[in-house]
Amino acid sequence: MIIAKDTVVTIDYALTDEEGELIDSSEGEEPLVYLHGHHGIIPGLEEALAGHREGDRLEVTIPPEEGYGDWDEDLVEVVSVTDFDDPETLEVGAQFETDTEEGPRLATIIEIEGGEVTVDLNHPLAGMTLNFDIVVRGVRPATAEELAHGHPHGAGAHEHD
């Protein structure tokens, strides 16, 4: 079966940056399972996988605009240390989820000085060119329930209680 809209795709992957440093990998973990055509993965990767089938191996380079977007200086904010429940536990590099006008967003603390904390609301991979080494492990039609929920179910995928 060919990867197309409304198929459930299972992949193993290794993700590296422009210098070849490993960022993430499914090695030793469960493979990534997603519903193709439903924005479950970055646009450039989804486009690159379309038309492939089980057993295919591909290397893909995704520029920032097809991945997590360009780094946006406007998404860096300075907030008061008093805005945090446990200010004494704050440290540079720590990440937390915060509510924004666009919905929940991951924030990274990039500086703490005096009573101010600088947080970066950009995705941690924003502005980066991403290199994927992928093996397609499986492709199957999505079930009606998966299509209704917008994500795959079953082994390696989302489970409902």
Task: Flag whether 155 is in a domain.
Answer: no
* Number of domains forming the structure of the chain: 2
Is pLDDT of 14 > 90?
Answer: yes
What gap in Å lies between CA 3 and CA 35, rounded to an integer? 10
Task: Flag whether 161 is in a domain.
Answer: no
Is pLDDT of 155 > 80?
Answer: no
pLDDT tens digits, 97-118: 988 888 889 999 999 998 999 9
Across the chain, what does the average pLDDT equal? 93
Q: Mark 3-18 as b/e (b = at least 16 C-beta within 10 Å).
A: beeebbbbbbbbbbee
**pLDDT confidence of residue 46:** 97
**pLDDT confidence of residue 100:** 85
Domain with residue 143: its CATH number is: 3.10.50.40
Is pLDDT of 61 > 50?
Answer: yes
Average pLDDT for residues 137-155, to the nearest whole number? Answer: 92
Say yes or no: 64 and 134 in one domain.
Answer: yes
Say yes or no: 94 and 20 in one domain.
Answer: no
What is the reported pTM?
0.83
Is pLDDT of 9 > 80?
Answer: yes
| CB contact at 8 A, 68 and 128 | yes
**pLDDT confidence of residue 88:** 85
Of 2, 10, 12, whose CA–CA distance to 133 is shortest?
Answer: 12
Domain interval for residue 23 = 7-68+127-148
Say yes or no: 132 and 99 in one domain.
Answer: no
What gap in Å lies between CA 51 and CA 85, rounded to an integer? 49
Is pLDDT of 65 > 90?
Answer: yes
